[in-house]
Amino acid sequence: MSKEIGNNFRPGAVATDLPLAHDRPVDFGLQDFCEKCGICAEFCPSGALPKGENQQVMVRGVRRWQMDPEKCYMYWCTIGHGCGICQAVCPWNHKNNLFHSLVRETAERFPYLRSLLVKGEELTYSHKPGPEPRWMTDDIF
Ligand code: SF4
Ligand code: SF4
């Protein structure tokens, strides 16, 4: 996730033996923002995304919300194509214009306003969940 372009990108990697200096992790308040948000988990049609502070687990030394790739993939197979609702509803993936840049700056600099920003996101964009696929409700797993 990046402050400027959210999570709607494909990361690439280059293998090299060049001696490179390590940079430091970037903290723009995302962990706290996600704790207050949870919109992606709310609208994930397969239930693959956990929500809430007590749903975090340690993965390779990092505390995180671990998604369930099988549930996600099963949903993709059911609908016959990729999903991406979690990316479509994430507030950090809005178009990079002046207004959204200001909101991102506010979210980073003023932690006490993050809950309000999430509420504004819900009111402004009125995210609607899609219909539940049959395999989720037929208890076949
Ligand atoms: S792609 Fe769809 S099913 Fe998979 S985690 Fe995102 S919202 Fe859930
Ligand atoms: S929708 Fe985006 S900001 Fe909200 S919890 Fe999910 S990843 Fe975090």
User: For the segment 50-86, what is each residue's pLDDT rounded down to a tens digit?
Assistant: 987 788 999 988 888 999 999 999 999 998 888 888 9
What pLDDT shows up at residue 69?
Answer: 95
State the pLDDT confidence band at 118, using cuts at 50, 70 and 90: very high
| Residue 17 located in a structural domain | no
Token representation of residue 111: 């932690």
* Of 139, 108, 123, residue with least CA distance to 26: 108
- The set of protein residues with a Cβ atom below 6 angstroms from ligand 2 is 33-34, 37-40, 89-92
| Residue 8 located in a structural domain | no
Ligand 2 pocket test: which of 90, 103, 104, 125 has the largest number of ligand atoms within 8 Å of its C-beta?
A: 90
User: What is the number of the ligand closest to the CA of 90?
Assistant: 2
Whether the CB-CB separation of 30 and 90 falls below 8 Å is answered with no
Measured from the Cβ of residue 27, the count of other Cβ atoms closer than 10 Å reads 10
Placement of tokens 């809950």 in the chain: 115
| Residue 86 located in a structural domain | yes
Measured from the Cβ of residue 65, the count of other Cβ atoms closer than 10 Å reads 19
Nearest CA to ligand 2 atom 1: 90
Q: What total number of domains does the chain contain? A: 1
| Residue 72 located in a structural domain | yes
- Which residue range(s) make up the domain with 73? 30-126
